[in-house]
Amino acid sequence: MDIKKINIAVDGTASSGKSSVMEVVAKKLDLHMIDTGLMYRAYTKLCLDNNVNFLNENEIIEQLKNFKCHYGENNSIFVNDKDFTSYVAQYDVAENIKYVASVSKVREKMVELQREMASDGGKIMVGRDITTVVLPDADLKIYFDCSAQARAKRRFLQNEKNNILPNDYEDILRQIVQRDEWDKKREVGALKIAKDAWFFDTSDLNFEQAVDAVVNKIENL
């Protein structure tokens, strides 16, 4: 199998390491990594900038008219030609993304864009419903998981390193547990484990071990 022509679909819980691990894997194997979560985060930021009421679904949908996005180098993301990369990790984005991600018309548009991006192969696409909805026929499907406590600690340390404030472990843990519940119970694009996906638990692995395990899995397809 020509690795440079395959599509790899990756789903998993928030902060389970899927994006950071797969970004390095993509560089090692000369593939293009697309973190679809950035699209939802960028859209949430656009809604915040336009003072959208997140309890009003019609207001959220209305912003689709003003949403054009593309990825740049190093998984940077641009909305209407403005670099949104530095905004997508903000606290208010994390607090409100669940409202955006649960709107069916928003997800339909995102899925359409994501399928277009993967149409020529050579992609590692990371998200919540990639293995089950976006790319159900991907050459390899991976489901990342990790304990909520380990994920909260990782995000806390990452925020500390990047000087992202506010940064409180208990608040991060609460966000992660709440996000898991939303992801798994929402009516549209719910987080599920595809029957033919490789279940990959990163709880007891360091970063390098996780990268090596995934690279080995891909090279042995």
Q: What is the pLDDT, as a whole number, of residue 167?
A: 86
Higher pLDDT among residues 184 and 214, named by residue: 214
Question: Exposed/middle/buried for 220, CB within 10 Å: 0-12, 13-18, 19+?
Answer: exposed
4-13, 162-171, 197-206, 207-216: least confidently modelled range: 162-171
Q: What is the pLDDT, as a whole number, of residue 2?
A: 86
Residues 212 and 196: beta-carbon distance below 8 Å: no
Q: What is the pLDDT, as a whole number, of residue 62?
A: 97
Query: How many other C-beta atoms are found inside a 10 Å radius of the C-beta of residue 51?
Result: 7
Q: What is the mean pLDDT of residues 62-74?
A: 91
Residues 191 and 128: beta-carbon distance below 8 Å: yes
Residue 187 pLDDT exceeds 80? no
What percent helix, strand, coil does the chain show, rounded to 5? 50, 15, 35
Q: What is the pLDDT, as a whole number, of residue 98?
A: 87
Residue 72 is assigned to a ligand binding site: no
| CATH code of the domain containing 10 | 3.40.50.300
Matching residue, tokens 């608040």: 171
Residue 194 pLDDT exceeds 90? yes
Residues 20 and 158: beta-carbon distance below 8 Å: no
Residues 95 and 178: beta-carbon distance below 8 Å: no
Residues 99 and 183: beta-carbon distance below 8 Å: no
CA dist., res. 43 & res. 33, Å (int): 19
Residue 151 pLDDT exceeds 80? yes
Residue 36 is assigned to a ligand binding site: no
**How high does pLDDT run on average in the chain?**
93
Model pTM? 0.84
pLDDT in tens, 100-124: 988 999 999 999 999 999 999 999 9
Q: What is the mean pLDDT of residues 51-69?
A: 96
Residue 119 is assigned to a ligand binding site: no
Q: What is the mean pLDDT of residues 52-74?
A: 94
pLDDT in tens, 1-38: 789 899 999 999 988 989 999 999 999 999 999 999 99
Residue 147 is assigned to a ligand binding site: no
What are the residues whose beta carbons fall under 8 Å from the beta carbon of 9, sequence distance 6 or more?
Answer: 125, 130, 131, 134, 135, 136, 138, 140, 141, 142
Nearest in space to 179 (alpha carbons), one of 98, 103, 101, 107? 98
Residue 37 is assigned to a ligand binding site: no
Q: What is the pLDDT, as a whole number, of residue 89?
A: 86
Q: How many domains, the chain?
A: 1
What are the residues whose beta carbons fall under 8 Å from the beta carbon of 207, sequence distance 6 or more?
Answer: 17, 20, 21, 24
Residue 44 is assigned to a ligand binding site: no
Structure tokens at 128: 């919540």
Domain ranges, residue 138: 3-219
Q: What is the pLDDT, as a whole number, of residue 25?
A: 98
Residue 19 is assigned to a ligand binding site: yes
Residues 37 and 168: beta-carbon distance below 8 Å: no
